[in-house]
C-alpha cells in the first residue's frame, strides 16, 4: 500500500490579467503549499479504478466517488498513459481518499488530490511519464500541486517558477460556504488587474511585514457572498495581518508574527465561531503532517 499527502495551497496574491481566446483566464499568482491537507492510499488491483471517500468532518456534503471525481479522473489519465508508454495494461488501483479539507474552498483540495494520485500511481506503476503534462489536463492548480512548495504561476497556472520562502505561520478560516470557481471568475465582468508586485510580496513575507498582495477574485466574491467579508473582518479582529481570500474562496487566511500568535488567534476564532473550519498552518513547507486541529 502506498500513501500520499495532498497539501492545501494558498494564493499569496492572485492577479487576473485578462481573458484568453480559449475562454480561460490569464493569471499570475504566488502559490504556496501548506503543512495540512488530505491523505490518499493506493493499492494495486488487476484492473479498473475503485475510489472510496471518507470525510473527516461530520456534516460536510457528500463527495462523489465516481468518474466525475478528480481523483478517479487522474487515475484513469495516468493508467491509460502508462499503458501506452509500456506497451500494455499496467493493472488497476483501489484508492481511499481521506478528505480533511473543505470542498470548493479555494485551497486547491480537489486538484491536490488529483496531483497526489498522479504521484502515487507513478510509484505504484512507474512508467517515466511527465506528471506535469498529465496534471495540466486535470485543472489549473494541478501542475503546481504536483510540484508543491512555493512557485510563481503564470498562464492559466501551468507556467511555474519555483521560489523559496521561509516558513510563515498563518490561520485559515472557512465558514462552511462553497464558492464555485466559475462563479468567482464570472463575477469579474472585465475587471482585470495588473501583475503582482512579486518582489515586494516576497520581501514582506520574509520580514513578517504586511505584503502588498491582492486577490482579484475577492471583490466579486464579496459582492455575491457577504459572509466571506465577515470572515475577513473576524481574522483581522483576531490580530492577524495580510488577511486575504485564497483562490476563489471561501477560505480566508491571515498571517501571524509567530506560531504562538497563530494558535491564540485560531483558538479565539474557533470559540467565537464554532461552526467555522479553523486551522493553523505554515506556508513555505507543504510536506508531511496535517496541521494542528483547533476547531
Catalytic residues, which ones?
Answer: 9, 141
d(CA 280, CA 173): 9
Report the C-alpha gap between 144 and 121 in whole angstroms.
18
The Cα–Cα gap between 123 and 116 comes to: 11
The residues with which 45 forms a beta bridge, in sequence order, are 92
Transcribe 1-55 into DSSP letters. Answer: -EEEEEEEEEEEEEEEEEE-TTSPEEEEEEEEEEEEEEEEEEEEESSSEEEEEEE
Neighbours of 87 (CB within 10 A): 7
The Cα–Cα gap between 128 and 5 comes to: 21
The Cβ of residue 270 has, within 10 Å, a number of other Cβ atoms equal to 19
Grid cell locating 22: 480559449
Rounded distance between C-alpha atoms, residue 232 and residue 43, angstroms: 41
C-alpha cell at 183: 462563479
Q: Report the C-alpha gap between 243 and 54 in whole angstroms.
A: 31
What distance in Å separates the CA atoms of residue 42 and residue 44, rounded to the nearest whole number?
A: 7
Answer yes or no: are the C-beta atoms of 107 and 101 closer than 8 Å: yes
User: Among 132, 196, 212, 202, which residue's Cα sits nearest to residue 163?
Assistant: 202
Residue 118, H or E segment = helix 109-124
Amino acid at each position: 500500500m502506498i500513501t500520499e499527502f495532498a497539501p492545501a495551497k494558498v494564493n499569496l496574491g492572485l492577479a487576473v490579467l485578462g481573458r484568453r481566446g480559449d475562454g480561460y483566464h490569464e493569471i499570475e499568482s504566488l502559490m504556496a503549499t501548506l503543512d495540512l491537507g488530505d491523505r490518499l492510499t493506493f493499492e494495486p488491483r488487476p484492473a479498473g479504478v475503485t475510489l472510496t471517500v471518507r470525510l473527516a468532518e461530520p456534516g460536510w456534503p457528500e463527495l462523489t466517488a465516481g468518474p466525475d471525481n478528480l481523483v478517479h479522473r487522474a487515475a484513469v489519465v495516468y493508467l491509460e498513459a502508462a499503458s501506452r508508454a509500456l506497451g500494455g495494461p499496467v493493472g488497476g488501483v483501489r484508492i481511499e481518499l481521506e478528505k480533511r479539507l473543505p470542498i470548493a474552498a479555494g485551497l486547491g483540495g480537489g486538484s491536490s488530490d488529483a496531483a497526489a494520485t498522479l504521484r502515487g500511481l507513478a510509484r505504484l506503476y512507474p512508467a517515466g511519464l511527465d506528471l506535469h503534462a498529465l496534471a495540466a489536463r486535470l485543472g489549473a492548480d494541478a501542475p503546481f500541486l504536483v510540484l508543491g512548495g512555493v512557485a510563481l504561476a503564470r498562464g492559466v497556472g501551468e507556467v511555474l517558477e519555483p521560489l523559496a520562502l521561509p516558513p510563515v505561520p498563518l490561520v485559515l478560516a472557512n465558514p462552511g460556504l462553497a464558492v464555485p470557481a466559475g462563479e468567482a471568475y464570472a463575477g469579474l465582468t472585465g475587471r482585470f488587474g495588473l501583475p503582482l508586485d512579486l518582489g515586494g510580496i516576497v520581501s514582506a513575507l520574509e520580514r513578517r511585514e504586511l505584503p502588498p498582495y491582492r486577490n482579484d477574485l475577492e471583490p466579486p466574491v464579496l459582492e455575491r457572498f457577504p459572509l466571506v467579508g465577515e470572515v475577513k473582518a473576524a481574522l483581522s479582529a483576531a490580530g492577524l495581518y495580510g488577511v486575504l481570500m485564497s483562490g476563489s474562496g471561501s477560505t480566508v487566511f491571515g498571517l501571524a508574527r509567530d506560531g504562538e500568535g497563530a494558535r491564540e488567534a485560531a483558538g479565539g476564532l474557533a470559540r467565537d465561531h464554532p461552526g467555522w473550519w479553523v486551522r493553523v498552518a505554515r506556508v513555505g513547507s507543504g510536506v508531511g503532517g496535517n496541521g494542528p486541529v483547533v476547531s
